[in-house]
Amino acid sequence: MKVACLRLALLAAVLALASATAGRAQEQGGRQAFEAKVVYCKTCHGLSGEGYRGYYPMPRLAGQQPKYLENQLRAFIERRRVNPVMFNVAHVLTPATLAALTAHFHNLNPPPLGGAPRDNVGLGRTIYEQGLPEANIAACSACHGPEAKGHEEIPRLAGQLYPYTVKSLTYWGRERGQGGVRDDTSAIMVVTTHNLDAAQISALAAYLAFLK
In 8-76, at which residue ranges do the beta strands (DSSP E only) sit? 52-53, 57-58
Helices and strands (H and E) in the chain: how many? 12, 2
Mark residues 63-102: x for contact with other proteins by CB under 8 A, - for none: ---------------------xx--xx-xx----------
- Of 96-104, 106-114, 135-143, 170-178: span binding other proteins (CB under 8 A): 135-143
- Residue 114 in contact with other proteins, rule: CB under 8 A: no
- Residue 123 in contact with other proteins, rule: CB under 8 A: yes
- Residue 195 in contact with other proteins, rule: CB under 8 A: yes
**What is the smallest separation between the CB atom of 109 and other proteins, expressed in angstroms?**
19
Is residue 129 within 8 Å of 211, Cβ to Cβ?
Answer: no
Is residue 83 within 8 Å of 57, Cβ to Cβ?
Answer: no
Contacts of 52 (CB under 8 A, 6+ apart): 44, 45, 46, 58, 113, 161
- Of 59-67, 94-102, 148-156, 166-174: span binding other proteins (CB under 8 A): 148-156
**What is the smallest separation between the CB atom of 66 and other proteins, expressed in angstroms?**
16
